[in-house]
Each structure stands twice: as C-alpha cells, then as structure tokens.
Amino acid sequence: MRKTWKRKRGPPLPPHSQRHLPGAAAALNRSRRVELSESLRSLTLLSALLVLASCTAPEVSRASPDIRLGHQLTTHGGAVACADRLAATIGAQLLARGGNAVDAAVGTALALAVTWPSAGNLGGGGVMIIAMADGTQVTVDARETAPAAFHEDAFLDEGGNYVPSRATDPWLCIGVPGSVAGLALAHERFGTLPWHELVAPAIRLAHQGFERGEMFHRILSSSATALAAIPSSREVFLNPDGSVPATGTLLKQPALARTLEQLAENGPEAFYRGPLAKALAADIQENGGLLTYEDLASYRAVFRPPLTLEIAGTEILAMPPPSSGGVAIGQILGQLERHGALDGDPGSAEFLHLYAESARRAYAERARWLGDPGYVEVPTAWLLAPETIDDLAASIDPTRATASTSIGPPITALRRTPDKKQTTHLSVIDGDGNAVSFTTTLEATYGSKAVSARTGVLLNNELRDFNRIPGQSTESGHIGTAANLAAPGKRPLTSMSPIIVLEDNEVVLVTGSPGGRTIINTVCQIFLGFVGRRLSLSDAVAAPRVHHQWFPDQLVFEPGFPRPAVREELINRGHTVVNREDTPPAGGALGSAHSVSRNRLTGIVTAVGDPRRDGWSATDS
Ligand code: DON
C-alpha cells in the first residue's frame, strides 16, 4: 500500500541554517517547586514506584574525602549525572581538581568506556552540546562515518533484496568511531586540565578492574549469547565457557588499558593514525569487515552551531543534523506551544492526544527530510520555520487520531522486528555555570559485540542507523528515504538528542537519554515536566513517559500509564495503545535520562540519575 505525502508545499532549498522559534509571551516562573503534591497529580503506578525507589535509595555517601555520591543530590558546586557510580565519581573528582564541565564530561565518558561497556565507548560515537558561562555555545558532532567501501546497497543482495543477516553481522556494520576524536576536540578547545589527567582514571579502572554491579550484570546477561560467539569478546566479558560472571566479580581489561595509555600519551592521533589504528583496522578486516586504516586516518569530529529553539521563554540548545533531535524537539514542542499544551496534564487524554499527534507529525518530517547535511540538502530552517510549525499544529484534529499512513513519505506494508539497543547519556554543570550534555552510543547493546583483540576496543554497529532498503519505508518503522541512505564517509542519522536549556542566558537544565527513536520523546517530556509544569528535576525525570514515532502507528506507554479510563478515551479517539515491551534489562522503561539542573535564584545544582536504570550523580562539594 502506498500513500503520498499530503502537504503540497515544499521547503525552499537549500538553506539549512540555525533557526529560532517564536517564544511564549511571558517567561515562566523560574523557581522550582519541590513539593511532592505537584507531581502526585500525574503519578501512576510506574512513577510511584520510581519515586519510592529513589526515596529508599542509599543516602548520598562520600566516595572519597571531597566527593559526594548518590542517585540524586543537590549542591552549591558542580555535579555530574550518568549511568555508573564509578564514572560519576571520576567526573566529580576532576571537578574537585579544578577541572571544568568539559574536563569532567570527557573524563566521565572515558571512564564509561571501561565501566559501562554496553554503551560507553572508544569504539562508537556521540553528540555533545557545550554551553560555557561566557556565552560560547557549540555542539560536537562525533558521529561515526561510513567506511569508503560502504554504499547504499550494503544491506542488499545482487537482486536488490534485503539481507537481514548483513545488519546483524558483527563486523560489517562498524562505522568509523568518532568518540575519541570528539572528546579530544572538546577538550582541546575548552578543557583546562591536561588531557592525560582525563584519561588516567579510565586507565586505572581498566588495569585494576572494578566490581560488576547488578545493572551491569543484567545488561551483560542480555547480550551474553552474541558476545560469547566472538572469542575476543568472550575473553573480555564472560567466563571461558560463555557464562556470565556473577555480580561483584572483578572485570579487568588489560588490552583496553594499553590502548588508553597510548591515548593518554599521544592524544587522539594514536587512535586514528599509527600502530593502534593499524591494529584496529587489521582486526576488523581479518574478520571480514570493511573499515580500513585510511578510513580511520580521514575521520574528523566537527563543531557545529547548536540549533536554538525558543520555547516557553527558554532557549533550548539542541543538536542539528545529522542528529534528528533538534528539529524533532523543535517541531513537537512548537506544536504543543501553539495548542497551549506546554503545561498540559500528562495524565489526561486531551494532552496525550495532542502529544501523540505532535510527535507523529514531527517523526514523519524526520523520516522524510533528515540525514547528514554534508551529503543531502536538509531543510532545517524550513522545518523549524514558524509557518511550518503553524501548519503542522493546525493539521491536528483535537478529537481524532490522524492515521500515520496519511502523512509523511510513502510507505509499504513490509514489517520487520526492531533490534535491542543501548546508548548512554551524561550531564554536567560545574561551579562556574559551564554545562555539557553528552549522549554516546555503540548503537546496539555492546554495539557489534565485537572486541578488537589487539586493542581491546569494543566496536559499534552504527551503520545500521542508515536507511537499509532504498525507497522502502515500512509500517514497522523502517525508513527508506534518500536523505539517510548510506554513502562512503557519510554519517548515519541519529536520534541522540542532548539538550541544554537556558533562561536569560543561564543554564537551568541539562538532559538527554538513550533509547533510539524514543530519545526525542523522552527529552521533550523532561522539558515539559521541568519547564512546562515546573516540577522538580527528580519528579520531571521520574514522570511516566509516552512514545509515538509515526510508524509503527502506536502510542507506547510505560507500564501502569495512563489510567484505564484515559487509555479507553485514547482508543476511542483512534489511537492504537500499547505498553512498552517488557524486555530486560530495563523492563518497560522508556529511556534513561541522567540530568542536572540549576536554580537561578538559589544557585542550587540538582543532579538526578534516572532510576529506570539505576543512574548516579556525584558532586565535588
Ligand atoms: O544514534 C542513534 O539514534 C541510535 N544508534 C541510538 C541507539 C540507542 O539509543 C539505543 N539505546 N537504548
């Protein structure tokens, strides 16, 4: 079944410059209410459990004399929130040593490459937003690129048929890793501590090892079969018989430690040129992969200006393409703003209907237009233009769901099953008001599952983020539009959506999340909770989440959300309502948004590790 795109008007191409959305007339009250009553309004079973979990979580403790660690904490100093307690501690220690938010973010990210290998990485990519207190605002695009030998038909056989096993081949979908270049670029421009001091804690953790925690164990267990099939990966993460070592067992990574030592001594050059790069390329090619030494040597991370979205009197700094985050967030929140729904009750059918319709439209636009701006004309300015968002908002029927088949690019009825994924986000604000929002990924959980034996680096399978079948978009959510087809050197479109929110030029919120396409909705809903409804940060993070991504045409809820009567009403309005699939390790949770906020009146910084995946925060004061 093929449908055509309804909107007649196209974007005036090319300009893909930064775009500002009109703001609300009045700025919201900036102070944050922390009363539980505010959030109880919308709490359902899941969020009640999450709040309970955070109340019964261990008290904030001292990880070392100058560091406090907890699932959530407040401070007058700087703070880091991320997936792992050791990495959070390292970030805070770097702050304590006089490092700024960029130093802390880089050191935390490098530590996560050791302690959180399901998503933290040297062998993957990421996108970062930096807002310095002096007003400097940039993004770092450290997204992987396609090797020179990777083309748009890489997933097809000679007859043009899709070959699913190519998307699951551990060595074929490895993009040129961008994380090391991106972290080094951020440090080179903004860091204050020497580079080797940021790498040193990760080296120590890789050498000496660390005890695997409960969440680590659960995530590893979910990927053990695939890891066990690759000898170099089994050797690092599993017992010799392929079973999963018990919680509390030490994980040492000597080969990774040696790689990190070379990085500490010689900087990113060591990773992209010279013996280390040759070893990495050799490991990949000997296993049938495409990535070459030349691919590594030609990789560049780049600074890009952030998109600045003016919503509800705030400025949201967001990622431009090749991230779909900024455009989609701007369109979703822009539509809700036009419907007066930024402070809508998230437990009501009225709000959830408007949210679903706004997201449906934004994701349809994403599918149609977005890709690597170095390769395709991405009409970013048009997509965020007030008239475009007016049109989108005006096309929403307040009483009936729009069928996804009636909007967006043409689709076919082909269905395929989604893959399991992992990514991780970290947020930092330092004592001077500098902020970093960094999301990083290997794509799937433990990426390609392939560890390069010579370097100890676990590699991504990010090339699966390209549209896999040219011309074929499916009702199961696979997209075949031209904008995101693979090409040599091209960056696959990402949903990673770190944001930094400012009020009167001061940072008030740093957030982001894993979750593939769900990331965009998670980030929007944290903004809506924190800015729109003025919840405390912990309540905004804990609030139950909903997801719609155009296709599959489903409104996906976290468990226990929403109330049965509201669910019924949404079904009556034409929505297909489903629960988020309850798969390990995070049950039916959507995202994991480790976030930091700063109250402009009191100067108090709050850091919250998302309880959905046992997140952590640490401070130097
Ligand atoms: O870049 C992307 O959009 C995906 N590779 C991210 C995957 C992801 O977030 C999985 N997380 N749970």
Report DSSP letters for 140-205, one per residue: EEE--B--TT--TTTTB-TTS-B-HHHHH-TTTTPPBP-HHHHHHHHHHHH--S-HHHHHHHHHHH
Q: Which amino acid belongs to residue 224?
A: A
The residue to which tokens 């196209």 are assigned:
10
Contact (CB, 8 A) for 583 and 609 = no
Q: What is the pLDDT of residue 475?
A: 92
Same domain, 293 and 325: no
Same domain, 554 and 531: yes
Point out the ligand 1 atom lying closest to the alpha carbon of residue 513.
9
Q: What is the pLDDT of residue 11?
A: 52
Chain Cα centroid distance, residue 347: 25
Residue 111 Cα to ligand 1 middle (Å): 20
Q: In whole angstroms, what is the distance from residue 171 CA to residue 615 CA?
A: 31
The residue to which tokens 């490098």 are assigned:
110
Going through 302-447 in order, the beta strands assigned E by DSSP cover 302-304, 307-311, 314-318, 423-429, 435-441
* Six token digits for residue 150: 């990777």
**What is the number of structural domains in the chain?**
2
**Would residue 423 show up in a list of annotated catalytic residues for this protein?**
yes
> 477 in the Ramachandran plot: left (φ > 0), alpha (ψ -120 to 50) or beta?
left
Same domain, 446 and 548: no
Same domain, 228 and 354: no
Q: In whole angstroms, what is the distance from residue 196 CA to residue 199 CA?
A: 5
Q: Best substitution site from 443, 518, 521 to test ligand 1's pocket, by max atoms within 8 Å of Cβ?
A: 443
Instruction: Look at ligand 1, atom 2, and give the residue with the nearest C-alpha.
Output: 494
Q: Compute the Cα dihedral for 65, 610, 464, 379 and give only its sign.
A: negative
Instruction: Look at ligand 1, atom 5, and give the residue with the nearest C-alpha.
Output: 443
* 36 domain residue, yes or no: no
Residue 465 Cα to ligand 1 middle (Å): 8
Same domain, 354 and 227: no
Residue 410 Cα to ligand 1 middle (Å): 24
Point out the ligand 1 atom lying closest to the alpha carbon of residue 518.
9
The residue to which tokens 């998302």 are assigned:
610
pTM for the full model? 0.91
Q: Best substitution site from 179, 423, 442, 520 to test ligand 1's pocket, by max atoms within 8 Å of Cβ?
A: 423
Q: Which amino acid belongs to residue 176?
A: V
Q: What is the pLDDT of residue 421?
A: 63
* 461 domain residue, yes or no: yes
Same domain, 311 and 292: no
CA-to-CA dists, residue 309 to 5, 24, 321, 526, angstroms: 26, 11, 14, 15
Same domain, 586 and 452: no
Residue 439 Cα to ligand 1 middle (Å): 9
* 320 domain residue, yes or no: yes
Chain Cα centroid distance, residue 471: 27
Contact (CB, 8 A) for 561 and 538 = no
Catalytic option among 314, 423, 439, 445: 423
Same domain, 250 and 318: no
Q: In whole angstroms, what is the distance from residue 337 CA to residue 23 CA?
A: 9
242 phi and psi angles, rounded to 5 deg: 90, -5
Point out the ligand 1 atom lying closest to the alpha carbon of residue 443.
5
Q: Best substitution site from 116, 421, 479 to test ligand 1's pocket, by max atoms within 8 Å of Cβ?
A: 421
Closest CA to 600 of 538, 531, 546, 543: 531
Q: In whole angstroms, what is the distance from residue 574 CA to residue 402 CA?
A: 8
Q: In whole angstroms, what is the distance from residue 497 CA to residue 495 CA?
A: 6
Residue 431 Cα to ligand 1 middle (Å): 31
Q: What is the pLDDT of residue 118?
A: 98
Q: In whole angstroms, what is the distance from residue 179 CA to residue 131 CA?
A: 19
Q: What is the pLDDT of residue 417?
A: 46
In this structure, how many other beta carbons lie within 10 angstroms of the beta carbon of residue 173?
30
Same domain, 407 and 426: no
Host H or E run for residue 596 = strand 595-598
Same domain, 338 and 218: no
Point out the ligand 1 atom lying closest to the alpha carbon of residue 462.
5
Residue 315 Cα to ligand 1 middle (Å): 25
* 41 domain residue, yes or no: no
Q: In whole angstroms, what is the distance from residue 32 CA to residue 226 CA?
A: 46
* 478 domain residue, yes or no: no
Q: In whole angstroms, what is the distance from residue 269 CA to residue 189 CA?
A: 16
Q: In whole angstroms, what is the distance from residue 106 CA to residue 434 CA?
A: 14
Mean pLDDT by 10 residues, the chain (621 residues): 33 34 28 30 36 40 83 97 98 98 98 98 98 98 98 94 93 98 98 98 98 96 97 98 98 98 97 97 98 98 98 98 98 98 98 98 98 98 98 98 94 55 92 98 98 98 96 91 97 98 98 98 98 98 98 96 97 96 83 98 98 96 89
Residue 395 Cα to ligand 1 middle (Å): 30
Instruction: Look at ligand 1, atom 1, and give the residue with the nearest C-alpha.
Output: 494
Task: Supply the Cα-derived Rg of the chain in whole angstroms.
Answer: 22
Q: Best substitution site from 495, 523, 547, 594 to test ligand 1's pocket, by max atoms within 8 Å of Cβ?
A: 495
Residue 319 Cα to ligand 1 middle (Å): 15
Per-residue exposure over 293-312, b if at least 16 CB sit within 10 Å of its own CB, e if not: bebbeebebbebebbbbbbb
CATH code for the domain of 315: 1.10.246.130
Q: In whole angstroms, what is the distance from residue 441 CA to residue 145 CA?
A: 13
In this structure, how many other beta carbons lie within 10 angstroms of the beta carbon of residue 178?
29
Q: In whole angstroms, what is the distance from residue 513 CA to residue 529 CA?
A: 15
Q: In whole angstroms, what is the distance from residue 153 CA to residue 48 CA?
A: 47
Residue 589 Cα to ligand 1 middle (Å): 15
Same domain, 401 and 445: no
Instruction: Look at ligand 1, atom 7, and give the residue with the nearest C-alpha.
Output: 516
Residue 440 Cα to ligand 1 middle (Å): 8
Q: In whole angstroms, what is the distance from residue 185 CA to residue 346 CA?
A: 40
Instruction: Look at ligand 1, atom 8, and give the residue with the nearest C-alpha.
Output: 516
Binning the chain into helix, strand and coil, the percentages to the nearest 5 are: 35, 15, 45
Q: In whole angstroms, what is the distance from residue 577 CA to residue 588 CA?
A: 14
Q: Which residues line ligand 1 (CB under 6 A)?
A: 421-423, 441, 443, 462, 465, 494-496, 514-516, 519
Q: Which domain holds residue 592?
A: 307-419+493-606
Contact (CB, 8 A) for 333 and 355 = no
* Six token digits for residue 425: 């986000």
For residue 200, how many C-alpha atoms fall within 13 Å in the half-sphere facing its CB? 9
* 217 domain residue, yes or no: yes
The angle subtended at Cα 54 by Cα 48 and Cα 56, nearest 5°, is 100
126 phi and psi angles, rounded to 5 deg: -175, 175
Residue 540 Cα to ligand 1 middle (Å): 22
In this structure, how many other beta carbons lie within 10 angstroms of the beta carbon of residue 67?
21
Q: In whole angstroms, what is the distance from residue 544 CA to residue 3 CA?
A: 34
3-state secondary structure of 520: helix
440 phi and psi angles, rounded to 5 deg: -135, 150
Q: Best substitution site from 128, 420, 441, 549 to test ligand 1's pocket, by max atoms within 8 Å of Cβ?
A: 441
Q: What is the pLDDT of residue 420?
A: 54
CA-to-CA dists, residue 411 to 143, 333, 377, 482, 609, angstroms: 28, 26, 22, 13, 39
* 32 domain residue, yes or no: no
Contact (CB, 8 A) for 100 and 428 = no
* 136 domain residue, yes or no: yes
Q: In whole angstroms, what is the distance from residue 473 CA to residue 410 CA?
A: 7
Point out the ligand 1 atom lying closest to the alpha carbon of residue 519.
9
Q: In whole angstroms, what is the distance from residue 603 CA to residue 457 CA?
A: 40
Point out the ligand 1 atom lying closest to the alpha carbon of residue 439.
9
Q: In whole angstroms, what is the distance from residue 458 CA to residue 260 CA?
A: 13
Same domain, 256 and 347: no
